[in-house]
Structure 1
Amino acid sequence: MSRTTRRIHVGVGGWNYAPWRETFYPPGLTHKRELEYASRKLTSIEINATYYRTQSAASFAKWRDETPQGFIFSVKAPRFAVMRKTPEEARESINRFFESGVMELADKLGPILWQFLPTKKFDAEFFDAFLSLLPKAIGGHALMHAVEARHESFQTAEFVALARRHGVAIVVAGDSEFPLIADLTGTFVYARLMGTRSDVPCGYDDKALDDWAARARLWADGDAPDDLPTLAPAKPKKTTRETFLYVISGAKERNPAAAMALIERVSR
C-alpha cells in the first residue's frame, strides 16, 4: 500500500441498511456482524445515527473494537446542534455531543461532520461564532471538523475565508443538487458523492469512478483537481492531506459497490 493510498479513506454512510443484505452482505450474516463485515471491505464509514439521537460511550467503544486497525469513522454531529438559531443555543448541544462518549473511538475517530439543512442560509456572524465553538482537541486528541453547507447562499468567498480561518473543511458535495465548493480550507478533504444510479452495477460508470479516484489522489498528495469549482482560489503550502470519500445517497443499494470500486482504483 502506497503512502498516498494510506491517506485516502473510502466508505459509505452507516452500515444497517436493509437492501444491502441482498446486494452487499453475504447470505445468513447476522445483523450484529454487519459492521464487522463492512469494515473489512471498506476503509471508513460515516456514522449517521449520531445525527438523530445521542449514542452511548459503550456503543462507541463497541464500534471501535469491532473494526480492524487503521479503520476510520467519521461522525455526523447531532441535528440539535446545527438547527439552533443562535450559537449560544448551539453551545450546549455541541458540548453534550462531545461528552456523550464519542472520544471512545480513540484513534479510529476521524472528522466530525456538521451538516446544515438546505434551508439554512449563510450568515457570516453566525458561522464565525459557531465555528469558534468547535473544539480543536479533546484530551490530547486533535479534532477535524467538516461543514456541509447546502444552501446556495454559501457560494461566496466570505464563507471560504471563514472556513480557512477556523481550519474547517468545506464538504465537497459531489454529483448532487447542493452547492459544489471545492476550495481547500482545512488540513483534510471531505467529499460526499451522491450520484450513484441503480442501473449501473457499481453505481457509477468507469469514467466517473476513475475521475473521483484521480481527484482523491491529488488531494492526498497536496494538490487540487482543476475540474471542480472554487470560489476563493488560493495557493496554500503544498502538504499531504487525509482524504475522505463517502458514497452517500443516490441509489443507496449500489453505494458499497461504488466505494469498493473506488478503493480498488486508489490502491493501484
Structure 2
Amino acid sequence: MNRRPRSKSQRPARGRVRIGISGWRYKPWRGVFYPGGLVQRRELEYASRTFSTIEINGTFYSLQRPESFRHWYEQTPDDFVFAIKGNRFISHRLRLRDARQALSNFLASGLLRLGEKLGPILWQLPPRFPYDEARIREFLRLLPADTEYAAWLARRRDVARMKGRSSLSIDRPRPLRHAMEIRHESFRDPGFVDLLREHNVALVVADTAGRWPLLEEVTADFMYLRLHGDKELYASGYGDAALDDWARRIDAWSRGTQPRDARRAGRASVPRRARDVYCYFDNDMKVHAPFDAQHLGERIRRRTRVKAT
C-alpha cells in the first residue's frame, strides 16, 4: 500500500547544508578545476558560483585588511557565506592565554564588513596543545556571540598597530558562530564537550587520515566539518563509499539526529533540532578538494529530494 506524500508542514525540519572548500587560490587548480585562461583575480568569483561557502584561511596566517574583505564580499553572490579561520597568533602563539587584545585586533581587521556573508569563525588548536579546562573556558567566555558585541570588542583594538587598517561598524546585529578544531588526544574528555555546549561552540568534525582525533559530538546549533583526506593528509581524495557515508552523516545532523555510529566522547544526549551544517574539503594538494566538494554536494541534494517525496 502506497503512503500519501506528507505535506510540507509535516516534513521534518532540516537545517541548511553548505559544502565548500578551504581556500581558493591554488596554482595546481588552474586549468584543472579553474578553466584555462581564467585570470587569477576571478578565481573567487568562479569558485563562489560553484560552492555556497568557502573557508578563508589567509586570516590564519596574518591579519587581513578591510579592503580585502570588501573585495571578497563584492565578488560573491548574495546567498554566499564565508567561514573565517581565526588568527594563529591567538591559537598558536598565545595558545588562547590573555587573548583579549589580539582578539580585538582580529575582529577589527575587517571581517565585520562581510555583513550577512560572515559565517562561522574557526579556531584551530595546535597538535601540542593539550586540554586545559581553565584556559579553554576563559577563551570561550571572550568570544562574541553576535556582531554587535564583536564590534564593541573591535573598538578596543591596539589603535597604534591597527591604524589605517580597522573596520569597526556593522550593518546590523547578527548572530556570530564559532567552531573549535582540536588536535590532541586529551580533548577526548566529556568535560570539554560539555564546556563547548555551554558556550554554543561547535566541535569541528575533522577527518585527518587518523593523525588527530575524529569526534562527532553535537555541541552547538550547527555542525562544522573539515575533511582533510581519509588516507593521506591533505592529499588523498574521497571515494564513492566515503562520500556516501559523509552524506549520510550530514543528512542526520541537518535533521537534528545523530549518525547511528557517531564517534563520541561525551556522555549527555542533545535535543533533537534541525541544524545547519558547514563542510569544507581541505585535501587540496592533488586537486581533490573542489571535485570532492561537488560530488558530496550532489549526494546531499539527491538525499534531500528523495526524503522530500
TM class, shorter-length: over 0.9
How far the C-alpha of 1:23 sits from its partner, in A, is: 1.9
Preserved contact between residue 183 and residue 233 of structure 1 (Cα < 8 Å): no
Aligned Cα root-mean-square deviation (Å):
2.0
1:67 paired with 2:100, answer: no
How far the C-alpha of 1:227 sits from its partner, in A, is: 2.1
1:11 paired with 2:10, answer: no
Distance in 1, Cα, partners of 2:180 & 2:49:
28
Structure 2 counterpart SS, 1:190: strand
1:242 paired with 2:264, answer: no
Structure-1-length-normalised TM-score:
0.93
Specify the alignment match of 1:209 in structure 2: 243
The correspondence for 1:137, drawn from 135, 146, 150, is 146
Alignment of 1:182-193 (within 5 A): 182-193=216-227
Distance in 2, Cα, partners of 1:235 & 1:159:
15
Alignment of 1:133-172 (within 5 A): 133-139=142-148, 140-172=173-205
- 1:100-154 Cα shifts (integer Å, max 9, x gaps): 1101111111100000110111100100001111111122111100001111111
Alignment of 1:36-185 (within 5 A): 36-85=45-94, 87=96, 89-139=98-148, 140-176=173-209, 177-185=211-219
Larger radius of gyration: 2
Structure 1 residues 211-220 or 28-37, which shifts more?
Answer: 211-220
Distance in 2, Cα, partners of 1:85 & 1:142:
26
Gaps of 5+ in 2: 1-10, 149-172, 303-309
Specify the alignment match of 2:259 in structure 1: 225
Gaps of 5+ in 1: none
Question: What amino acid maps onto 2:41 in structure 1?
Answer: K
How far the C-alpha of 1:229 sits from its partner, in A, is: 0.8
Question: What amino acid maps onto 2:181 in structure 1?
Answer: E
Structure-2-length-normalised TM-score:
0.81
Specify the alignment match of 2:157 in structure 1: none
- 1:177-211 Cα shifts (integer Å, max 9, x gaps): 1111111001100011111679xxx9211111111
Structure 2 counterpart SS, 1:9: strand
Distance in 1, Cα, partners of 2:196 & 2:281:
23
Preserved contact between residue 196 and residue 254 of structure 1 (Cα < 8 Å): no
Structure 1 counterpart SS, 2:120: strand
Structure 1 counterpart SS, 2:243: helix
Change in 2 beyond 3 A, CA 1:233/1:69: farther
How far the C-alpha of 1:22 sits from its partner, in A, is: 3.0
Specify the alignment match of 1:28 in structure 2: 37
Change in 2 beyond 3 A, CA 1:5/1:63: farther
Question: What amino acid maps onto 1:73 in structure 2?
Answer: F
How far the C-alpha of 1:265 sits from its partner, in A, is: 0.9
Number of residue pairs matched?
264
Preserved contact between residue 12 and residue 255 of structure 2 (Cα < 8 Å): no
Structure 1 counterpart SS, 2:288: helix
Distance in 1, Cα, partners of 2:113 & 2:220:
24
How far the C-alpha of 1:85 sits from its partner, in A, is: 4.2
User: Percent sequence identity over matched residues?
Assistant: 42
Specify the alignment match of 1:257 in structure 2: 291
Distance in 1, Cα, partners of 2:284 & 2:23:
14
Preserved contact between residue 57 and residue 102 of structure 1 (Cα < 8 Å): yes
Structure 1 residues 172-181 or 111-120, which shifts more?
Answer: 172-181
Structure 1 counterpart SS, 2:121: strand
